Amino acid sequence: MMDRQQIVVDVHYHFLPIIPEDFIDLLTGEIAYGFKKRGEAPDQETLRRTARETLIDPEGALVLERDRQLGVDVTCINITDFPVPGIDAELVLRSNKIAADLARRNPEKFFAFAGIDPRRPAAAEIAKTCLENYGMIGIKWHPDFGFDPTSAEAYEVLKVLDKNNGILLTHTGYLPGGRCKYTSLSQICDILVDFPDLRVIAAHMGKTAWHEWAGLAHDFPNLYGDLAVWSRYADRNYEFFCRQLRELTFYAGVEKVLWGTDDPFENHTVPTATFVKMMRELPVKSPKGYEFSKEEVDLMLGGNAARLLGIK
């Protein structure tokens, strides 16, 4: 039986309420990896059907059911602004509004992050609408899509975010097909220097560049990192995962680590229920010299995020 004494918060969930039909094939690439890992090779039509059934969630029913099954108390749903033909500013605004409305209807369940690519015309105005009119709490960025997060247009969006005391959740680390030069921790450092009051979550903690993230998190009190896709590391070699996680907390402090999943995509690679179990087992299965207390696990699974988000 899951220990429910402490809150569980997923700070990194991709909410996909509107996806044009001709965009489905791009989504299937995100789940094909999971099938391949299991030794399966479904045809493209099977991948499309899986994407439609498990990713596209116009009313939030999928994330609500997932949270119920896993025992997740609070989820940060984020919208991704895909800069491709067929995804225009009007569709992005509608997607953000749906996420904001879902969070408004479920204030104890969801927090909504807006997806805004700063290269869009009037990106700062879109940010203002999402934060001030829709009540969204932050912005989700994917610089790996090809934009410099320290560019002039990006900083105009950050000014709006900073003014509204919002949170920036931004991708860091490599990503297949992504432009990794825009996801380096050195650019996060520039943002932290130029916006000293802005709270920043480095998604994935830089992945294999976690040493850089940990060094920055030690020096910048407003920098956090999430464990999204670290389920893969734990699944491949649990002892190695324990060592890496313990070592980064030696640098950054356990209070800087937030649990996140990258669902609904990542559940196709490593079932999220397995990831929760692996986190819960840290106090009893971590190797000697890299042990975790239950209190530390509770902080990473939700206590730290609750403090950041202002959850009472």
pLDDT of residue 132: 98
d(CA 161, CA 139): 8
Cα 276 from Cα 128, distance rounded (Å): 35
Report the first-to-last Cα separation within the chain, whole angstroms.
25
Q: Nearest to residue 250, comparing CAs of 297, 225, 215?
A: 215
User: 76-95: per-residue pLDDT in tens?
Assistant: 999 999 888 778 999 999 99
| Low pLDDT (below 70) residues in the chain | 1-5
Paired strand residues for 75: 10, 110
Which residue carries 């480095």 as its tokens? 202
What are the start-end ranges of the H helices in the chain? 24-37, 44-54, 61-70, 89-105, 123-128, 152-163, 185-194, 210-219, 230-236, 238-252, 272-280, 282-285, 294-298, 304-309
- 251 Cβ contact list (under 8 Å, min separation 6): 211, 214, 215, 217, 218
Q: Model's pTM, two decimal places?
A: 0.95
Q: What is the C-alpha to C-alpha distance for residues 39 and 304, in angstroms, rounded to an integer?
A: 37
Report the CATH number of the 9-18+56-309 domain.
Answer: 3.20.20.140
DSSP code string of 9-21: EEEEEE-BS---G
Joined together, the tokens standing for residue 255 give 């209070």
Single-letter residue type at 55 = L
pLDDT at 274: 97
Helix (H, G, I), strand (E, B) or coil at 166: coil
Q: Determine the pLDDT at residue 5.
A: 59
Looking at residue 192, its pLDDT comes to: 98
pLDDT score for 37? 84
Check: CB of residue 245 under 8 Å from CB of residue 254.
no
- Backbone phi and psi for residue 156, each to the nearest 5 degrees, phi listed first: -65, -40
